[in-house]
Amino acid sequence: MTGATIWLTGLPSAGKTTIAYELADRLRAEGHRVEVLDGDEIRTFLTAGLGFSREDRHTNVQRIGYLADLLSRNGVKTLVPVIAPYADSREAVRKRHMASGTAYLEVHVATPVEVCSERDVKGLYAKQAAGEISGLTGVDDPYEEPESPDLRIESHTQSVQESAAALHALLTERGLA
């Protein structure tokens, strides 16, 4: 089986993880080997101790990118719902995959910050507004939107199932599903 890394980037509460798990279920039902490298779980188990400075965020993305490439080279569809706010960090991951000959797709879950703030799945926007935290990506810390993603999903205008179906269609088009 052909592996691939599908990196879903976007603001906190954009819908990245929800879409990734929906797609993972569909791919597993079709017989694919699939892993989801959830950014929150990775920070708990693999990159604990890293903060949210630009340097730490870059290190976090590179470690996740290495793991994704390793899994993908071994036939796993690796879904990576991780913010990865900086374009140069995402580009370095893309180049790692190119060097190893592994398929890599960048998907921008392009949800407006106002919608993400309303969803506020983890309460981050409320904490930032109350002054309890700072450095929230897309609010008081940068988020560099992908200029040319392989797919742009506007999760605020379609259902989770429609978003996952659009991503599945791209994988099919590229011979990866």
Would you say 17 is a known binding-site residue?
A: yes
HEC readout, the chain: CCCEEEEEECCCCCCHHHHHHHHHHHHHHCCCCEEECCHHHHHHHCCCCCCCCHHHHHHHHHHHHHHHHHHHHCCCEEEEECCCCCHHHHHHHHHHHHHHCCEEEEEEECCCHHHHHHHCCCCHHHHHHCCCCCCCECCCECCCCCCCCCEEECCCCCCHHHHHHHHHHHHHHCCCC
Would you say 11 is a known binding-site residue?
A: yes
Whether the CB-CB separation of 89 and 71 falls below 8 Å is answered with: no
Would you say 31 is a known binding-site residue?
A: no
Would you say 14 is a known binding-site residue?
A: yes
Would you say 15 is a known binding-site residue?
A: yes
Would you say 10 is a known binding-site residue?
A: yes
Residue numbers belonging to the annotated binding site for ATP: 10-17
Residues annotated within the binding site are: 10-17
